[in-house]
Structure 1
Amino acid sequence: MRDTTWLERLGLALRTAMACLIVSLTTLYGPKPLRHFTTFPAFSYLTTILIWLSDAEPTYGEVLKCCLDVSYATFQTIAIALVSVLVVGPASLGNGLVAPVAVALASFIVAFPVSTSLLTKRIAFGQIVVVYVTFVVFNGEVAHVFMLPVHVAGSTALGAIASLIAVLLPFPRLAHSQMSKGCKLYAENALERLNMFVEIMMARDNTTAQVLIARAASLSAAAKNTLKNIKIHHERISWERPDTRFLSRKQKLDPAEKLHATDFLLRGLELALGSCSSFPQGMSRDELTRLLEGPRTHIAPRSESTLKSQDSLGWHHEAESLSTAALPVCFFRYCVELFRGDFLSLRQDSKSVNGRTTEEEIHPANEGLSMARKFWDILCVWMARERFVFAFKCSISLGLAVLFGILYNKNNGYWSGLTVAISLVSGRQATLTVANSRLQGTAMGSVYGLICCSVFQRLEEFRFLPLLPWIILAVFMRHSKVYGQPGGVTAAIAALLILGRRNYGAPTEFAIARIVEASIGLLCFVFGEILVTPARAATLARTEISHCLDALLDCIQSLVLCSEQKNQKVVADLRKSQVKLKSHVEALERFAAEALTEPKIPFLRRLNTDSYNRLLGSFSKISDLCLYVCDGLKNLSGVQPTLAFPWDNITHELRAFQEKLHPSVKCLKEISQTKSQARLQKELQKRKICHDVEAGTTSNDNYSYMELGPSQADVERFSVSFVMLLKEATDKISCNTADDAFKSETALCLSSLGFCISRLMQETICIMTEITHTT
């Protein structure tokens, strides 16, 4: 897999180098009429690098979309520039104080619409900077004023066309083929995980099993990235095959949706194995292989005869073998059955209960529709606010960068504004880390360019050749954890501006001016980010923990209602709570990743990396478990009137757990939002929590607070109680029906439901314990 990734990146690097080489040869040795319309080669390079070193790996469909985005940005810039020239006049725009104001206003207009992509905004920002700074450089006396935007547009078009040629030669890099490779790569990953599951079940001891489970977790993380790439490539297929836009919804289902469902079930198998108390599980390798043949067939379809042979596989569960230790294995088998698409008898019963299901679903649907409208109205207001904040940030940052860049060096005032233009994003980012990476990339690229100029001093016509290995290195820098996209982009651009251009003066002076201007731009970029989003990522992460805890309480509340009422409406409410929890977990993951890159500030608390990873893992597991609960209740919905399962006992246990959880969560939310280390210690002493939270250790002293909340004993008591009730229900089902498939499916659904609820309670307790260490 690593070899495949390395070859993919090398191919991207060679295509990026080809695009830059096309721009170099065109601007240096192309026909004179063509060079007349591409008088800003720096912007041609900038356009090429922004397309090829984007977040998505460029394909033919991606580059086509980028060309459309570039065209839209160019039309925006030309319209804004011409209107400003007609209204204000070129002489006024040549004023060093008027031009930054014009840049700020134009940037606000470009940034505010939500329909335009980030690439469109960045290209438009860069073009605005070039146009208005050029007016300042020539004091408003630009010959053929109305041709200046055309020259900028021509330079931009050259970069886009070079990118399009590079993605087509020597053969097209298609999104469809990349998506097929991704699906194949995911299938290999999934089959490897299934083989790993067999080895885990057959492990000779717990230590060996834990090592294998850790390997399976790393494979799961790799699968997550693969699924992300597949989804991106699928979105670009319509640009390569426009006819797919007119297909029906059923015909153009996203293959990533099926793969996400497969990965969800694989995570369930992994969760079940991670919950087993002892290994091996007492199953033979042949039995395990036959059991997992269904998932293998689902992932890599085989012949029809194989499928038929697997349909005869069933699971007959004996009530006497039920125990708390057996619940994880029951859930493991439940996930396997979901792979095979079983539980049809239970779901068919749910559709024919006197037609009540259909009638009951009508009202919740209408209610959900009205709620969706209210949510949409609130979302529109929120989006308008977010758009205004982003536009204001872009306006302030670019305006200040152009102002200070011109004041420092009027002739090179472009570079501070361009540095900000390629740095702006709509959401939050690790501001100081991004600025550091961009400054390092600029310095390294400039130094490399100066060294090559010295080596090729007598061969000036061929000094663009050293660009090729540097562009390849910059692509690999873009995928590194140290520099990332910011460092890779600026490293490539800095070398291109020195080695790929002429008539910019002495290389050493130009390089120094570039580094200083880039530093000015980065300072303005940091100022704009801090002005608009002053809260530290660590503070936002702790706030997001509070939101996750609120969503967790909603899930517990919905779970209690499900055990009480057992209808489709409360199951839908549980699904909504799960979606809310998942969105907050994703936000927490983003904030935590940014917070961990923040510099250490005295007297302010940093995040504990290991603790936050465990916290995110627990929240993610709870999110998955809620989905499994919804699916289990859906499977059981048709047989619940005749099931005679004592849900009242389960409701009592869950409500007791919820009542203990509420005050604990309230206290933990207050503690988690404490910013100062000194105030944290006082708060912990007040709450009588004797933890060394920064070290992540617990003292041996007794602390009364945590004893008030739910404990592991509550989970164990619930599991034991559920198993006893399950044995009674299984015995009643065996007496009332002779259908073996129906009995086994019902018992398996109930067993997996008990596992999910008990594991959800256990993960909740782990979160409470971890928060006291993390915050």
Structure 2
Amino acid sequence: MATPTFESSRARAMWQTCLASALRTALACTIVGLSTLFGPQYIKKQVAFPAFSYVTVILVVTDATLGDTFRGCWLALYATVQGVCPTILSLWLIGPSRLMASTTAIAVALSAFVVVLPENTHLIAKRIALGQIVLVYVIAYINGGLTETIMHPVHVAASTGLGVVACVLALIFPYPCLACCEVKQNCKLFAENASERFNLFVKAFSAEDNTCALAFISQAKSLVKTGAKLLQGIKAKQESMKWERFPFKFLRPYGENPGSRFQDLQTPLRWMEIALDNSPTFPVGILNSELKSCLYVLGEHISEKANSMSLESSATVPESNPENTQKFFQSLDTIQPTKKDLPSLFFLFCLSLFINKPIALSPPKEGSTKQENQEGFLKQTWTNYLSVTKNNKRFMAAFKCSLSLGLAIFFGSTYSKENGFWAGLPVAISLAGSREATFKIANVKAQGTVLGTIYGILGCFVFEKYVQIRFLSLLPWFIVSSFLRQSQMYGQAGGLSAIIGAVLILGRKGFGPPSEFAIARITETFIGLSCSIMVEILLQPTRASTLAKFQLSKNFEILHECIGSICFGSLGNLVESQNKLKVHINEMGKFIGEAEAEPNFWFVPFHGTCYRKLMGSLSKMLEYLHFGSQALLVLEKECGGIDNFVNKLDGDFKLFKDFVGSSMKCFEEVSLVKSLAILDKEFEKKLSVDVELGTSQSSCYNIIRSASEEEIDENFRSYFEHSKELVDQIVNGEECKGQVVLSLSALAFCMDRLVKETKEIEKAIKELVQWDNPSSHVNLHDISFKVRAFANSEAN
């Protein structure tokens, strides 16, 4: 069995990646340490803040490739223009001797607002610029009149430059760490992963009993998560490969990232897994000897296709034998589908996508986004400020960052003038690109800082007699921190804080005894994180749980639109609604993750399990809609001109669409209800008024379209009859008939699964409403009626 071998190679690759990242980071920090401790006097004089050189190294080189480092060089240069250059003018106008804690905090806050506001500026550039601003102003405040207006900011810029140069050298020696090499390796592993999964799925489909089938399915599922991570790693290096493309002309064959092509392989595999999960029993009823023979032949070819995919040989995929393809579809045109055969036919439909749609696709058209990327980062940089609009969300993010930084500097300097910048620096270099779970992130940052600081103190104790080489003790900590960053407990925020905490202790000079410095830094870090939390609470009062509730309702609204768009001839609207739904489901996932991490205080505890269940059902429905649209595309292509049968099929869909659509509308309304007691009380008042006025709300009672199992089965029988009539009308050959049979069956399978997921969502919505109203009786029809009654009264 190849699965254990693949898993061991994947585990070995993960270890190698973490170790390589740690060694590169350690090498960069060693270069900084040697330069500031043993370098020429000129370098020591210019690099007045080696601690920030270490910080720059951590921000740029962590998990980076050479392309990432080239980009980091440009970002550091741009950050210096944003952060250091304006401070020279500010110090000249204000005068360092006139700086106080309040004026320093205001200057830092205003500068931070200007840096964070532009939308196109990269997050790393913003973090470096904010760190530079903190150092320039706070150190000027500490030194007062002794501060040189021009040379002091220049020293900060030089410290940044040393960190960037160290990153480049660390990624070049002893050999270049290239993104294209990582992508090539991941491509090979993903191709092996996909081929192995495909073979296991085919074996499960052809199994003679349930035990063997379930064993093969279980083995394949163990590879799914690894395949997703590999694909994510391939896509993540797309920007880095572009930066490597120009310095290394001989690498041009590797210039295009194959993530989109591999996604075309990943999607049908996911569909095949869903089909097998829904298969009632094995062996499969429709699998005769002829179909089984064709399946094995095509399976070998598709597996060969997957294995032949790589970074450099993307276009040399072997073509399938037309005779084998024809035999496969000919073996299907005589099948009379039934409801229990739908999962099996859907599996074959997924397999047919490998045949009809070549795996080696041309790069997708990305429209304006790709064109903007080709214009280059330099042109985008100069248009940053021109592209700034009155966007409330972006303005609020910049305002919160500037206020947090200003308060951290003010309170940190008030507590300890000499160490005040340690309160602002953690806030500056940990700027987030989007909304985060405030308390969770602050917690892991604090834990990471304490862990790193304690390790630094222990390192100072062990190397007490060898002060000049104590930074070598960082190597084990870099390795540990690499795994901390990969863990769910600490993540990127906690892992980076742990690294910086140790680096600033072991790489410092002129800050007094290690224990005193450690206590001062931990205290200042606590002040900075407290200011961040306070600002988030004051300026972001809407809890993540509330946002998750609103997002859930929005998803039901969009899903209602999607269901209404399922028909022949309107695929454009369906695809557009699907893309919108995907964005909103991902957004809801972020809110759910944040809500699960935030404290409850005096609020009702967040029902994370139920929300996760709802999100899973919504994601499945999105997939079924996508599958259905693919089937509709094939049918529109193969059945053009047979409008009378198409209209009959649309009529068969009406029951499914009415049931699912009306249910989604009900869920949209019910999910926003906070208190059933208040709703009942207000409805009683309104009902009494309606009675006095002689009006009725019965017209509002738009009942959810029910669908019993008998009615659904009857509808399927009608659908299969009309499908058979449609297939009989096709005169283009048996191969075309086979494709139509698979597409019609796939469409029926998707509609059946949509109905089943709707019923699952109904159970989860009842559970969610009951959770918020434990003492009330939950009736979704009744709640929906009352909500619509209020909506109608408001409209009138």
TM-score range, shorter chain: 0.7 to 0.9
**Which residue matches 1:352?**
none
Distance 2:501 2:341 in 1: 62
**Which residue matches 1:375?**
none
Which one of 31, 39, 44 corresponds to residue 30 of structure 1? 39
**Alpha-carbon deviations, 1:348-404, whole Å to 9, x = none?**
xxxxxxxxxxxxxxxxxxxxxxxxxxxxxxxx9988222211111111111111111
Deviation at residue 684 of structure 1 after TM alignment: 11
- Give the secondary-structure state (helix, strand or coil) at the position aligned to 1:591: helix
The structure-2 alpha-carbon separation of the partners of 1:753 and 1:503, relative to structure 1 and needing over 3 Å to count, comes to same
Matches within 5 A, 1:470-489: 470-489=477-496
Matched, 1:280 2:283: yes
- Give the secondary-structure state (helix, strand or coil) at the position aligned to 1:138: helix
Which one of 258, 262, 267 corresponds to residue 264 of structure 1? 267
Matches within 5 A, 1:178-193: 178-193=182-197
Deviation at residue 274 of structure 1 after TM alignment: 1.9
- Give the secondary-structure state (helix, strand or coil) at the position aligned to 1:411: coil
**Which residue matches 2:565?**
558
**Alpha-carbon deviations, 1:13-56, whole Å to 9, x = none?**
11111111111121222211101111111111111111233xxx
Deviation at residue 758 of structure 1 after TM alignment: 2.5
- Give the secondary-structure state (helix, strand or coil) at the position aligned to 2:597: coil
**Alpha-carbon deviations, 1:649-688, whole Å to 9, x = none?**
443443344444455434433443355xxx368879999x
Identical-residue share of aligned pairs (%): 37
Which one of 514, 523, 532 corresponds to residue 521 of structure 2? 514
Distance 1:16 1:712 in 2: 62
- Give the secondary-structure state (helix, strand or coil) at the position aligned to 2:747: helix
Deviation at residue 417 of structure 1 after TM alignment: 0.4
**Which residue matches 2:328?**
314
Does structure 2 conserve the Cα–Cα contact (< 8 Å) formed by 1:445 and 1:491?
yes
Q: Provide structure 1 residue ranges, at least 5 long, that are not aligned to the other structure.
A: 344-379, 688-703
Which one of 392, 395, 408 corresponds to residue 402 of structure 2? 395
TM-score, normalization: structure 1? 0.84
**Which residue matches 1:627?**
626
**Which residue matches 2:133?**
128
The structure-2 alpha-carbon separation of the partners of 1:706 and 1:223, relative to structure 1 and needing over 3 Å to count, comes to farther
Deviates more, 1:200-209 or 1:34-43: 200-209
Q: Provide structure 2 residue ranges, at least 5 long, that are not aligned to the other structure.
A: 1-9, 309-315, 359-386, 684-700, 770-796
Distance 2:471 2:654 in 1: 72
**Which residue matches 2:378?**
none
**Which residue matches 2:74?**
68
Deviation at residue 641 of structure 1 after TM alignment: 4.3
Does structure 2 conserve the Cα–Cα contact (< 8 Å) formed by 1:474 and 1:491?
yes
Deviation at residue 470 of structure 1 after TM alignment: 1.1
**Which residue matches 1:764?**
758
Matched, 1:167 2:171: yes
Matches within 5 A, 1:540-555: 540-555=547-562
- Give the secondary-structure state (helix, strand or coil) at the position aligned to 2:471: coil
**Alpha-carbon deviations, 1:503-531, whole Å to 9, x = none?**
21111111111010000110111122223
Matched, 1:526 2:533: yes
**Which residue matches 2:441?**
434
Distance 1:161 1:751 in 2: 60
Deviation at residue 270 of structure 1 after TM alignment: 1.4
Matched, 1:588 2:588: yes
Distance 2:483 2:151 in 1: 38
Deviates more, 1:97-106 or 1:254-263: 254-263
Which one of 100, 111, 115 corresponds to residue 105 of structure 2? 100
Does structure 2 conserve the Cα–Cα contact (< 8 Å) formed by 1:712 and 1:765?
no
Distance 1:686 1:264 in 2: 49
One-letter identity of the residue aligned with 2:650: T
**Which residue matches 1:731?**
728
Distance 1:709 1:574 in 2: 24
Does structure 1 conserve the Cα–Cα contact (< 8 Å) formed by 2:199 and 2:299?
no
Matched, 1:82 2:79: no
**Which residue matches 1:112?**
117
Does structure 1 conserve the Cα–Cα contact (< 8 Å) formed by 2:560 and 2:665?
no
Distance 2:107 2:155 in 1: 20
Matched, 1:157 2:161: yes
Matched, 1:337 2:336: no
Deviation at residue 710 of structure 1 after TM alignment: 4.7
Distance 2:87 2:710 in 1: 70
The structure-2 alpha-carbon separation of the partners of 1:641 and 1:156, relative to structure 1 and needing over 3 Å to count, comes to closer
Does structure 2 conserve the Cα–Cα contact (< 8 Å) formed by 1:111 and 1:391?
yes
Deviation at residue 71 of structure 1 after TM alignment: 0.8
Does structure 1 conserve the Cα–Cα contact (< 8 Å) formed by 2:338 and 2:720?
yes
Does structure 2 conserve the Cα–Cα contact (< 8 Å) formed by 1:665 and 1:768?
no
Distance 2:212 2:531 in 1: 53
**Which residue matches 1:751?**
745
Matched positions, count = 703
Distance 1:76 1:756 in 2: 53
Does structure 1 conserve the Cα–Cα contact (< 8 Å) formed by 2:550 and 2:672?
yes
Which one of 402, 408, 430 corresponds to residue 415 of structure 2? 408
**Which residue matches 1:355?**
none
One-letter identity of the residue aligned with 2:745: S
Distance 1:507 1:481 in 2: 31
Distance 1:16 1:684 in 2: 62
One-letter identity of the residue aligned with 1:23: V
**Which residue matches 2:716?**
719
**Which residue matches 1:235?**
239
**Which residue matches 1:20?**
29
